[in-house]
Amino acid sequence: MASKQTVHMNRGQGETSYARNSSFQNAEQNRMRPLIEEAVADLLSSSNSSSRSMVITDLGCSSGPNALAIASIAVDAIRRCLGLQRPPPDLFVLLNDLPDNDFATVVKSLAEFKKNNEHVLAGVVPGSFYGRLFTAESLHLVCSSNSLHWLSEAPEDLKMKSIPAYDVDADVRRERRALVVGAYARQFRKDFMLFLQMRAIELVPGGRMVLSLAGRRSVDFASKFTHAWESVAMILCDMVHMGLIDKEKFDSFYIPIYGPSDEELRQIIQEESSFSIRQMQVPELTSGAYSALITPTRVAYMLRAAFEPIIVQHFGSSEGGEGIMDEFVRTAERRWSLEGSLEEELAQNPRGVLLVSLEKKLDIT
Ligand SMILES: C[S@@+](CC[C@H](N)C(=O)[O-])C[C@H]1O[C@@H](n2cnc3c(N)ncnc32)[C@H](O)[C@@H]1O
């Protein structure tokens, strides 16, 4: 690949923005509520509870309504947990994302949020969550929704050997699946390990983390597992078959995303050893609030809002800017035009979501 991929969601408030196409992710954030409430209750009842301030961060906040959703859940939980017993501590809410994120919109929403929430101070922290972001032992609660499956980069060994992440030929793809997925799994292990090490430095002893990320149910990646970004690859593959994008270009396109199994995640957390696992859940991707959201157009727009920047960066745009993405949406809608075909495609895939609640061990310095 010529240049480093710049990751961000579609900016602004327009029809194709992340702000208007992130209801799936918001459903996921709502699933984190009980875990955040439990973590907050635990923090407030612990020995640190006499502390007059509490620092909360949401890592990979993006922009739009979801950027403040997790912070709102945490602030509400604190207020409800304390009730009238004692005044709430000063809360410092810090929102993080990569520097190309639409922070201008986030800052405006934060100003509104502060107006409606007495005792809340707020700020943004641009930078990668795979590096240091905060001062040592300064954080009480770290949250992250729908972000940690984004790798720091696509696996270097695949790029160097020009092995496509998703071969257009289904037989070749099947033969290479273990190799490709293995490379992605190694990159995830390296990145997630680093993430845990950084947060172990930044959290206070007993500090909590509540995370949600794309994952999968199966541990058998060689026979069953498909990429967490399979739908994007399938749509682009259809576009190659229709002559809308170049096969060579597609072969060198790597989306830096990996969805681990719960077992993989557990092993990395245990190996890194700074955190104990309080809860880990693997809810069904298509259950609950999700099912109502699954329509071809919604899914196509959701994928566009999340992947347009890296698709356009790699393939270039046509027809004055958005040609390739308009075709992407049309191809997706055509692919799923038969009633039930989208649901069937999703059901065949062992993809899921992982929710995990962690506590920093007390003897880690
Ligand atoms: C799908 S969005 C999730 C946004 C929001 N948390 C939600 O649940 O809707 C993923 C976000 O993670 C951010 N991200 C990806 N890699 C990151 C990294 N290394 N450091 C910080 N943010 C990252 C992306 O820029 C993007 O805004």
Q: What is the 3-state secondary structure (H, E, C) of 194-256?
A: HHHHHHHHHEEEEEEEEEEEEEECCCCCCCCCCCCCHHHHHHHHHHHHCCCCCHHHHHCCCCC
How far is the centre of ligand 1, averaged over its atoms, from the C-alpha of 266 (Å)? 22
User: Which among 8, 97, 129, 196 is the best mutation to test ligand 1's pocket, defined by most ligand atoms within 8 Å of the CB?
Assistant: 97
In a domain, 254, yes or no: yes
Q: How far apart are the C-alpha atoms of 70 and 309, rounded to whole Å? A: 24
Q: Which residue, judged by its Cα, is nearest atom 15 of ligand 1? A: 150
Domain assignment present for 53? yes
Helix H or strand E encompassing 324: helix 323-335
Using a 6 Å cutoff on CB, does residue 195 contact ligand 1? no
Range of the domain at 170: 23-360
Answer yes or no: is 5 within a domain.
Answer: no
Could you tell me which residues are beta bridge partners of residue 208? 141, 359
Distance in angstroms (rounded) separating the CA atoms of residues 335 and 235:
8
Distances (CA, A) of 177 to 215, 251, 255: 17, 15, 15
Pocket test for ligand 1, best of 125, 147, 199 (most atoms within 8 A of CB): 147
Mutate to test the pocket of ligand 1, among 10, 22, 125, 150 (most ligand atoms within 8 A of CB): 150
* C-alpha separations of 160 from 8, 144, 246 in Å: 24, 31, 20
Residue to substitute in 31, 32, 62, 229 for testing ligand 1 pocket (most ligand atoms within 8 angstroms of CB): 62
pLDDT (0 to 100) of residue 132: 97
pLDDT of residue 1: 43
Does residue 55 belong to any structural domain of this protein? yes
Indicate if ligand 1 lies below 6 Å from the C-beta of 315. no
Q: DSSP assignment, residue 361?
A: -
Q: Are 353 and 285 in contact (CB under 8 A)?
A: yes
Q: 61 CA to middle of ligand 1, Å?
A: 6
Q: Which residue has the tokens 């890194």?
A: 272
Could you tell me how many residues make up the chain? 365
Look at residue 6 and tell me if it is in a domain: no
Residue 7, in any domain of the structure:
no
- How many domains, in total, are found in the chain? 1
Cα gap 133→57, rounded to integer Å: 10
Ligand 1 center from residue 14 Cα (angstroms): 19
Residue 365's pLDDT is what? 64
Pairwise CA distance, residues 342 & 255, whole Å: 21
Q: Is residue 8 part of a domain?
A: no
* Cβ(355)–Cβ(31) below 8 Å: yes
Block means of pLDDT (10 residues each) for the chain, 365 residues, are 74 85 85 94 74 90 93 89 75 94 92 87 96 96 96 94 90 87 95 98 96 79 61 90 90 93 94 96 68 80 90 76 83 84 74 91 79
C-alpha of residue 58 to centroid of ligand 1, in Å: 10
48, part of any domain: yes
What is the model's pLDDT at position 231? 84
Tokens 């794309």 found at? 214
CA 97–ligand 1 middle distance (angstroms): 6
- CATH number of the domain within which 51 lies: 3.40.50.150
Helix (H/G/I), strand (E/B), else coil: 188? helix
Copy the structure tokens of residue 232.
């994007």
8 Å CB contact between 173 and 166: yes
Q: Is the C-beta atom of 349 inside 6 A of ligand 1?
A: no
Q: What phi and psi values does residue 308 have, to the nearest 5 degrees?
A: -55, -50
